[in-house]
Structure 1
């Protein structure tokens, strides 16, 4: 199901391909079809939650905030929140950073793309699959590209009136500091700036 304007998706993918030409885009359709066959929860599982004022926590987060729903970006962040006594409602992940912790939230939103086809089998059982191609049955395209900005686009698609983002610090390396990571963060910055024209984004 499309949860983003296809033209907006085309813009994001065009920007991604220009900044990150080395990624495995040729396998994105294969990944989407694999996710479709694995079976995920319907979008109603997400829509039942209160998305009015979500708080999105990215890996290097430092500050906590009040909101209607807690969204962790990647398993690493989910584990950090749980150790602080906070159970995420949603974990947004492509199973790249501590995939074993992706199931610590109530639901996982697992992204399928050309570089993680082999990891999709390990997705938590309570999962909704997202893709970055026209979505086959049982998947959704919510927009965005990296886990962090995709979480914000998901919140917008779910009807958020204001989104709080804690931990978007592009100059603070967590997993690694290299050219690919730097370009991914530049892409995330551009897409979050674009989204901020449609919904208020508050950065902590």
Structure 2
């Protein structure tokens, strides 16, 4: 039976407070509605991810170039899933909020889709793991993090990773756009990854 779970309430509270203070123009006021929508999608339990070996995962973020070995392959967004697929690599997990080449998220074995106040009306009902950024309900989960990239690393950490390789995190090399909002999101991501690196070894390649 699928039960909602929040992996670290205090970390979630910290991340949410930071994000709201730095990115007040985002639709945080719609996050509760987003969570209700995610619960209605009847996704799959996050326990399916435990079938993978999370000892030394590798997380690929846009715009990665270097391919390295890892016990589980995590692609951030459909963009990274596509790039891996063109190199003959099938991602084990795709972490996404469906805003960067969403047609490619199915290239992975398991999709972890994030539902929030700016996308909940366009998230489809699939056999996916649905994450949210409020207190979870139904078959939804809160793994903390804010951007898809740092959320993927939080996921690896909570799945038991001892060492995480990250390929493609270049805070000053934006792919989709280079406006102020994107730069502030990347600042939050960099801060959270630095914070998480005090708990688990993260190697940027």
TM-score (norm 2): 0.96
- Equivalent of 1:95, from 86, 94, 98? 98
Aligned partner of 2:72 in structure 1 is 69
In 1, the alpha carbon distance for the partners of 2:63 and 2:96 equals 15
Aligned partner of 1:138 in structure 2 is 139
Structure 1 unaligned blocks of 5 or more: none
In 1, the alpha carbon distance for the partners of 2:5 and 2:74 equals 21
* Structure-to-structure mapping, 1:24-173, within 5 angstroms: 24-121=27-124, 125-173=126-174
CA contact (8 A) 1:87 1:104 kept: yes
In 1, the alpha carbon distance for the partners of 2:70 and 2:82 equals 19
CA contact (8 A) 2:6 2:136 kept: no
Runs of 4 or more, structure 1, over 3 Å off, are none
CA contact (8 A) 1:74 1:97 kept: yes
* Structure-to-structure mapping, 1:181-192, within 5 angstroms: 181-192=182-193
Aligned partner of 2:13 in structure 1 is 10
Work out the number of aligned pairs and report it.
202
RMSD: 0.9
TM-score (norm 1): 0.97
In 2, the alpha carbon distance for the partners of 1:131 and 1:26 equals 13
CA contact (8 A) 1:106 1:126 kept: no
